[in-house]
Amino acid sequence: MVVEKIPVERLPGIAQIQRLLMKYYERKLFAEVMNAAKMPQHIAIILDGNRRYAEKMGVDRFYGHFLGAKKLEEVIGWCQELGIKHVTVYAFSTENFKRDEEEVKNLMNLLAQKFREVAKDPRVHKYKIRVKAIGNLGMLPEQVQRAIDEAQTATRSYNGHTLNIAVGYGGRAELAEAVRKICERIKNGEIAPKDVDEDMINNYLYTAGLPDPDLIIRTSGEERLSGFLLWQSAYSELYFCEAYWPEFSKMDFLRAIRTYQSRERRFGK
C-alpha cells in the first residue's frame, strides 16, 4: 500500500495555525518595539519594487503602483501607532519621467487622485498630519499641482505630524537649488559668504524645520539611496528590506524599527 505524502502546508488547519502564529509574533514584536528606550521621530522610506511586484504577480504594472499607494496608507497608520511624528517618502524621482509615457501618465493621475483623497481623509485630520510635496513641483502636470495645493492647504495649520511626499525629486537638484538661493542673497548684499553654515543650508532644503531622518528604509532588496535626502541622511541609520513595496508587511516594518533601536548612534564621535 502506497501512502501519499501530503505537504505540511496542505494539511487541514495548518494555514490557520500559521496565521495565528504570525499574529502572535507580530504582537510580541510590536510590544518589544514599543517598550524600547528609543523610537525614531523621523523615518524616510524609498518606495521601491511596485513594478517588479506586478511582474511577479502577473498583473499590469500600473496595478503595482496602485497597490503601492494603498500600502503607504497602511504604513502611515503603523507610524501613528508607534508615535513616529515625521515621515518622508520617495514616491517619484526626476529620473522617473524617463519611463514609458503611458506609465508616467497613469502615475500622474494616481498621484493627483491620492493627493485629493488625502485632503479629505479623516485620519489625516484626526492625527493633524501636515502634508507637503517636496521636489521640483513645476515639472508635474497642472492637475497634480492643483491636487497637491488642495492637500497642503487643507493641512497647513497642523504641526504635530508631518508627511512629506517626494515627487519630481532629486537630491542633487535640491542642494543646487539651496545653493542658488543662498548665492542670490550674497549677491544682493543680504548676507556675507562667511555667514553660510550648515544651519543656513538646512533652512533652504525642502525639509527645513524638520529633524534629519533617524532611519531610512528601502524595500525591494536594492541597497543605495538613489539621490534621496543626500544632505539630510548624513547620520541616518539605513535598513534594506528584500520585500517589494506592495508586499512590505507590518512585520517587516517592526523589524526595521527594532534594528534601528538596537544600533548605537555615535554621530561621528
Q: At what angle do helices 250-262 and 14-34 cross, to 10 degrees?
A: 30
- How confident is the prediction for the chain on average, in pLDDT? 93
pLDDT single digits (tens) 99-151: 999 999 999 999 999 999 999 999 999 999 999 999 999 999 999 999 999 99
Please tell me the predicted confidence (pLDDT) of residue 38. 94
Share of the chain above pLDDT 70, in %: 94
Residue 37: name the closest of 215, 269, 263, 266 by CA. Answer: 263
Where residue 4 falls among pLDDT bands split at 50, 70, 90? low
Cell triple for 121: 481623509
SS3 251: helix
Per this entry, what is the length of the chain? Answer: 269
Please tell me the predicted confidence (pLDDT) of residue 6. 57
Residue 232: name the closest of 115, 86, 61, 25 by CA. Answer: 86
Please tell me the predicted confidence (pLDDT) of residue 9. 57
Question: Looking at the annotation, which residues are catalytic?
Answer: 48, 96
- Domains by residue range for the chain, with CATH: 40-262 (3.40.1180.10)
Please tell me the predicted confidence (pLDDT) of residue 246. 98
DSSP string, 60-115: -HHHHHHHHHHHHHHHHHHHHHHT--EEEEEEEESGGGGS-HHHHHHHHHHHHHHH
